[in-house]
Amino acid sequence: MKIHPNNNDIKDMFWDVYNKQPNPLTPNVISYGRRSRYLYELSSSDDDKMFGVTVINIKKEKEDDLCKCFFNLEDARRYITNRFTT
């Protein structure tokens, strides 16, 4: 059976993996989503000058090598769109 989590399920999975702690550098969640076998959280800093893409897989394991920081939202969205295709 394939898992197709909705945004609330993804949020809950992130909260479980990260012990209910927001990203300290980019604590403001913009969106959650799924690309292939990866789940992502797109977030911003308080001053909207930094954007983070935090990634876990559908088994609720951290994917630290895929997590990235950007200095504009367009680059972060482009990373999400282009990076997670397999």
pLDDT tens figures, 54-65:
999 999 999 999
Contact 43, 28 (CB under 8 A): yes
Residue 69 confidence class, pLDDT cut points 50, 70, 90: very high
Mean pLDDT of the 2-30 span: 84
Higher pLDDT, 12 or 84: 12
- CB contact set of 83 (below 8 Å; sequence gap of 6+): 35, 66
